[in-house]
A and B are shown apart, each in its own frame.
Chain A
């Protein structure tokens, strides 16, 4: 899923200065799964913002909505009726949904309520960890299904750096596995440690963000 996190409250409050009517929008898809922008989080943030602003002497009316999928125009359309009543929209959807909302309601300032941070899984209750960075040149077939781009702090392609800790964790964070440690473990278990001996040449990054904004065309699907 796409994972996002609330922006720090002071940043949110600073962005709300001067507004009287706010539409706070969530999305029931990825950001609900990662507990950043689903209905529950919308309902949590609304009173929090309201109390905080009131304590700063600002009275604001917050209307809440949670869309099924903020990244699909037909769902965003559900805001058409309410949008004219507010002077700004704050979205807790991922950056994709936010842009669709901004595009649909061009006259309303769009305030991001979250930072979109990663493509991750829920590893355990209350714990999300990165799995993919949409690099555009997937190597999972060579790394036993473990992604070194997203899960190695240095995106190394040829094995572990010298920083792997004694317990197999990454030098950068004692709570994160060194992914190359795990890749080697898995290769061993499969009896294929030798497959990692081949030198992997520099990757082609241009099929992702590094090639400029991504644009995919499928002629068979064009209307």
Chain B
């Protein structure tokens, strides 16, 4: 980690606090108000806020612009960048631009394939050409190069280092499971300072992977933030278990949600329990919370888990 950058997220982690990040999806339109509205709901609940980059390959306000709007609202963004839509020239240019705008947390992802954009109700752009000039691990290396060596991937110098706190995603339970810890090691070697994981429901399986990472010494080099999605119904869990790669939901949890009188309240309880459980795992330094299309739930669940107020560092 570069000493030059000091993002809020970085400082919270460095001070040994249990970090909280949340997610903000930009709108499908040019109006900044929806971003500001979400900011109003989420302000003070997390240390930093991920801004997705055309998630599921659906065209939305750019992550750079939405991240800047959050910043102006007093929230610290984590700008996501996928490898789907830009080559290394555009990526580096956007990274320099983001840095100039004060966006210092960046998270590198492969990105959803453009086919996903037409899979739901939208037309999307399944006919688009993707880029994948570099993959997410190579992108991490590029960001690190801009920061630590003040060099572009091609070798040319930039005027001064671009300070970034570098994030990555980790899917600990994705097949082939035996390669997921090595892949985390690759991400760290390439430049990741922190990782946010795919949503955790199967604590045992998650703990086993984190333990492997811990024993390999990886948790000293990278801050792992466990992904938590607030469950809202048994149906939602069943769907995710079946259709979302890397997400494993134990049958018992689905049954518990099914049996609950008030599914929403039960989902909150489950979330709080999950947060408390991952907090116990050596090497887990925080949580990354998502309440898909229901940000207001975070305003309830984060305080309920005892995670507010957020530390001022």
Residues of A at under 8 Å CB distance from B? 153-166, 168, 171-173, 178, 180-181, 184-185, 188, 193-194, 196-197, 199-203, 205
Stretch at the interface among B58-66, B69-77, B168-176, B270-278: B168-176
Residues of B within 8 A of A203 (CB): 134
Q: Could you say which interface size class chain B belongs to?
A: 35 or more
Residues of A within 8 A of B170 (CB): 162
Residues of A within 8 A of B88 (CB): 202
Residues of B within 8 A of A181 (CB): 175-176
Q: Of residues 137 to 170 in B, which have CB atoms within 8 Å of A's CB atoms?
A: 137-138, 141-142, 153, 169-170
Which residue of B has the minimal Cβ distance to A173?
B115
Which residue of B141, B169, B182 is within 8 Å of A162 (Cβ)? B169
Contact A158 B153 (CB under 8 A): no
Residues of A within 8 A of B130 (CB): 154
Stretch at the interface among B34-42, B94-102, B183-191: B183-191
Residues of A within 8 A of B132 (CB): 154-156
Which residue of A has the minimal Cβ distance to B246?
A162
Residues of B within 8 A of A163 (CB): 110, 112-113, 174, 245-246
Distance in angstroms between the alpha carbons of A202 and B91 in the assembled complex: 13
Residues of A within 8 A of B83 (CB): 154
Distance in angstroms between the alpha carbons of A193 and B180 in the assembled complex: 12
Residues of A within 8 A of B171 (CB): 161-162
Distance in angstroms between the alpha carbons of A200 and B135 in the assembled complex: 10
4 extra A-B contacts, CB within 8 A, seeds A164-B175, A202-B133: A162-B169, A164-B174, A172-B116, A173-B115
Count of chain A to chain B residue pairs whose CB atoms are closer than 8 Å in the complex: 109
Contact A153 B133 (CB under 8 A): no
Contact A160 B113 (CB under 8 A): no
Residues of B at under 8 Å CB distance from A? 83-84, 88, 110-113, 115-116, 130, 132-138, 141-142, 153, 169-171, 174-176, 178-179, 182-183, 185-186, 189-190, 198, 245-246
| Secondary structure dominating the interface of A | loop
Which residue of B has the minimal Cβ distance to A181?
B176
Which residue of A168, A193, A201 is within 8 Å of B178 (Cβ)? A193
Residues of A within 8 A of B174 (CB): 160, 162-164
17 contacts between A and B (CB under 8 A): A157-B135, A157-B138, A158-B136, A158-B137, A159-B182, A162-B169, A162-B174, A162-B198, A164-B176, A166-B245, A181-B175, A184-B176, A196-B182, A199-B141, A202-B88, A202-B141, A203-B134
Contact A171 B137 (CB under 8 A): no
Contact B190 A165 (CB under 8 A): no
Distance in angstroms between the alpha carbons of A165 and B171 in the assembled complex: 12
Distance in angstroms between the alpha carbons of A164 and B186 in the assembled complex: 18
Residues of A within 8 A of B245 (CB): 162-166, 171
Contact B183 A158 (CB under 8 A): yes
Nearest 9 A-B pairs (CB), nearest first?
A162-B171, A158-B137, A161-B110, A184-B176, A156-B135, A155-B132, A202-B134, A172-B113, A159-B183
Residues of A within 8 A of B183 (CB): 158-160
Residues of B within 8 A of A158 (CB): 135-138, 183, 186, 190
Residues of B within 8 A of A196 (CB): 179, 182
Residues of B within 8 A of A155 (CB): 132, 135
Which of B116, B176, B245, B246 gathers the greatest number of chain A CB atoms within 10 Å?
Answer: B176
If A166-B245, A199-B137 touch, whether A156 touches B110 (CB-CB below 8 Å) is: yes
If A200-B138, A202-B88 touch, whether A154 touches B113 (CB-CB below 8 Å) is: yes
Contact B182 A193 (CB under 8 A): yes
Distance in angstroms between the alpha carbons of A154 and B170 in the assembled complex: 17
Which residue of B175, B179, B198, B246 is within 8 Å of A193 (Cβ)? B179
Contact B178 A188 (CB under 8 A): yes
Residues of A within 8 A of B138 (CB): 157-158, 199-202
